[in-house]
Amino acid sequence: MSILNLETAMDSEYHRVLDTLREVEEATEDVLTTKQQIIDLDMKRNRNREALNALKNGVCPEKVNVCFGNMFIRFPKSKAREMIQKDQEQLNSELNDLHKGLKANFNCFNEMQGKPGLRGYNLLPLSADERKAIKSILKW
C-alpha cells in the first residue's frame, strides 16, 4: 500500500469519526434542550396551579390583576380563571408532546452509543374500557 493510499484512508476515517461525534453531540443537545423546555413549562404550570388555587380558595375581589409579561391587567375573577385553565390545558399538551419527543431522542442517543433502547419506556396506561374489561374478568 502506498503512502498516498494510507493518507487517504486515514483522512476518510478521521472524517467518519468526526461525523459520528457531531451526530452524537447533536443528539445530546436535543436531549438537554428538551429537558430544559420540560423544566421551564413545568415551572409555569406550577405557577398557574398556584394562581388557580388562590382564585378558588382566597378571599379576593371580583376583579383581579393578571400579569402578562411585564404588565398587569385587571380582569373579572371568572375570566382570569378561564384563561389560566386554558393555559394549563395547552401546557399539559405541550409537556406530553415534549415527553414523547424526549423518549424518542433518548432512544436515538442510546442507539448512537451502541446501547440497547430502554425496555418498557414506551408503556401506556390502560384505558377506561380496558380497566373495565379486566375488572369484569377478575370480578372485583
CA angle, residues 125, 117, 115, in degrees to nearest 5: 160
Q: Which of 52, 116, 111 has its CA nearest to residue 87?
A: 52
Domains of the chain: 3-115 (1.10.287.370)
Position 2 scores a pLDDT of: 66
Q: Is the model more confident about 113 or about 21? A: 21
Question: What is the tens place of the pLDDT at every residue in 18-31?
Answer: 888 898 888 889 88
Q: Which of 133, 131, 45 has its CA nearest to residue 93?
A: 45
pLDDT at 121 over 70: no
pTM of the shown model: 0.70
CA distance 60 to 9: 75
pLDDT at 140 over 80: no
